[in-house]
Amino acid sequence: MLSLEQLSQMVKEHLGLCDYIDGTQYTCKWAINESPLSGRGLIATEDIMPGEVLFVDRPLIYGPRASSTVEQGCTVCAKLNSDTFYQCSKCSLLLCSEQCQNNDVHVNDCTIISRWNLKKPIEDADSSVLSRALTPIRALMLNNDQKLFMSCMQAHSLPQHGQEVRNLKQYYEIPEEEEQLMIAACCALDTNAFQIATPYGKKEMSMRGLYPVSGLMNHNCVPNTRYYFNSDLQMTVKAVKPIQAGAEIFSCYTGILWGTPARRVYLYKTKHFLCKCDRCSDPTERGTLLGALKCFSSECHGYLLPIDPLRTSSAWRCLQCEMRVPNENICAIQGALGSLMGTLNFEKVEDLESFLVDRIIKYIPKTNQIVIDLQCRLITAFGEAEGYRWHGE
Ligand SMILES: C[S@@+](CC[C@H](N)C(=O)[O-])C[C@H]1O[C@@H](n2cnc3c(N)ncnc32)[C@H](O)[C@@H]1O
Let me know: does 330 contact 308? Beta carbons within 8 Å.
no
Identity of residue 200: Y
In this prediction, residue 393 carries a pLDDT of 47
Quick one: which of 359, 355, 335 has its CA closest to 347? 355
pLDDT at 21 over 80: no
Give CATH 2.170.270.10 domain extents, the chain: 4-58+211-251
Q: Which of 11, 30, 154, 189 to mutate to test the pocket of ligand 1 (most atoms within 8 A of CB)?
A: 154
Q: Residue 202: which pLDDT band, with cuts at 50, 70 and 90?
A: confident
Distance separating alpha carbons of residues 315 and 296, to the nearest angstrom:
13
Q: Residue 368: which pLDDT band, with cuts at 50, 70 and 90?
A: very high
In this prediction, residue 199 carries a pLDDT of 78
In this prediction, residue 19 carries a pLDDT of 55
Name the helix (H) or strand (E) containing 271.
none
pLDDT at 43 over 70: yes
Quick one: which of 144, 153, 140 has its CA closest to 111? 140
**Stretch 75-83: mean pLDDT:** 92
Q: Cβ-count burial of 278 within 10 angstroms (0-12 exposed, 13-18 middle, 19+ buried)?
A: exposed
Residues in the chain: 393
Alpha helices in 88-222 (DSSP H): 98-102, 104-114, 127-132, 134-138, 144-151, 163-166, 176-192
**Stretch 353-375: mean pLDDT:** 93
In this prediction, residue 390 carries a pLDDT of 64
- What is the value of pTM for the model shown? 0.92
**pLDDT tens digits along 45-71:** 999 999 999 999 999 999 999 998 889
In this prediction, residue 76 carries a pLDDT of 97
Strand residues in 148-212 grouped as ranges (E): 172-173, 194-196, 207-209
Report helix angle 327-343 to 369-384, nearest 10.
10
In this prediction, residue 254 carries a pLDDT of 98
Q: What would the CATH number be for the domain defined by 4-58+211-251?
A: 2.170.270.10
In this prediction, residue 130 carries a pLDDT of 95
Q: Which of 158, 235, 271 to mutate to test the pocket of ligand 1 (most atoms within 8 A of CB)?
A: 271
Return the number of other C-beta atoms located less than 10 Å from residue 168's C-beta.
21
Let me know: does 32 contact 216? Beta carbons within 8 Å.
yes
Quick one: which of 75, 231, 58 has its CA closest to 138? 75
CA of 212 to the centre of ligand 1 (A): 13
ipTM of the predicted assembly exceeds 0.95? yes
Return the number of other C-beta atoms located less than 10 Å from residue 177's C-beta.
9
Give 238's strand partners: 53, 226
**pLDDT tens digits along 279-309:** 999 999 999 999 999 999 999 999 999 999 9
Let me know: does 165 contact 113? Beta carbons within 8 Å.
no
DSSP-derived pairing of the beta strands 218-219 and 248-251: parallel
Closest-lying ligand 1 atom to the alpha carbon of residue 40? 8
Name the helix (H) or strand (E) containing 260.
helix 260-266
Q: In angstroms, how far is CA 49 from the centroid of its own chain?
A: 26
Across the beta sheet with 235-239, what order do the strands follow? 53-57, 235-239, 225-229
**pLDDT tens digits along 83-109:** 899 999 999 999 999 999 999 999 999
pLDDT at 332 over 50: yes
CA of 39 to the centre of ligand 1 (A): 7
**Stretch 351-367: mean pLDDT:** 92
Which residue is closest in CA terms to ligand 1's atom 19? 219
- For the four alpha carbons of 75, 76, 77 and 81, in that order, the dihedral sign comes to negative
Question: What is the share, in percent, of the chain residues with pLDDT greater than 90?
Answer: 82
Secondary structure of residue 20 in the 3-state scheme: strand
In this prediction, residue 169 carries a pLDDT of 95
pLDDT at 250 over 80: yes
Q: In angstroms, how far is CA 315 from the centroid of its own chain?
A: 30
Q: Cβ-count burial of 223 within 10 angstroms (0-12 exposed, 13-18 middle, 19+ buried)?
A: buried
> Residues enclosing ligand 1, CB less than 6 A?
35, 37-41, 154, 191-192, 215-216, 218-219, 271-273, 275
Return the number of other C-beta atoms located less than 10 Å from residue 117's C-beta.
8
Out of 117-126, 243-252, 370-379, which region has the weakest mean confidence (pLDDT)? 117-126
**Stretch 320-327: mean pLDDT:** 97
CA of 186 to the centre of ligand 1 (A): 16
Q: What is the DSSP string of 333-363?
A: HHHHHHHHHHH---SSHHHHHHIIIIIIHHH
CA of 282 to the centre of ligand 1 (A): 21
Closest-lying ligand 1 atom to the alpha carbon of residue 271? 27
In this prediction, residue 391 carries a pLDDT of 60
CA of 273 to the centre of ligand 1 (A): 8
Out of 170-184, 265-279, 332-346, which region has the weakest mean confidence (pLDDT)? 332-346
CA of 291 to the centre of ligand 1 (A): 24
Over the chain, what is the mean pLDDT?
93
CA of 218 to the centre of ligand 1 (A): 5
